[in-house]
Amino acid sequence: MWIFYTAIAMIFYAAGEYYSKLHANGEPYIVFAAFAGYMVCTALWFPALRNNNQLAVMSLIWSMAYALVAIAIGVLVFKEHFSPLQAAGAVLALGALVLLECK
């Protein structure tokens, strides 16, 4: 069940990142949409953690998911440059996620 909460949280995090970038690009009032996305994402942390109950593992998973979502939004939506070093970091983060889920 924690995976469900995490997936939904990442959708709201992606919305927060998207609206944050729009705000950075000069749309001042869109910042409230970013706040809303981040608040829902943060609120979903509690049921996700309650269902997994492993703080260290959940923190790492969410940190990596945050990074991957932000990279995807930047590269795919806003056409930002993605260096080879950043690509290597994303691959390593995915590998770490796989290793964390092995029991």
Of residues 81 and 47, more confidently modeled? 47
Looking at residue 89, what is its pLDDT? 86
CA-wise closest residue to 66 among 17, 5, 26: 17
Looking at residue 47, what is its pLDDT? 96
Looking at residue 50, what is its pLDDT? 94
Residue type, 3: I
Mind listing the pLDDT tens digit for each residue in 42-70? 999 999 999 999 998 888 888 888 888 99
Mean pLDDT calculated for residue range 70-82: 91
Integer Cα distance of 49 and 53 in angstroms: 5
Instruction: Supply the Cα-derived Rg of the chain in whole angstroms.
Output: 15
DSSP state of 28: G
Going by pLDDT thresholds of 50, 70 and 90, the confidence category of residue 103 is low
3-state secondary structure of 76: helix
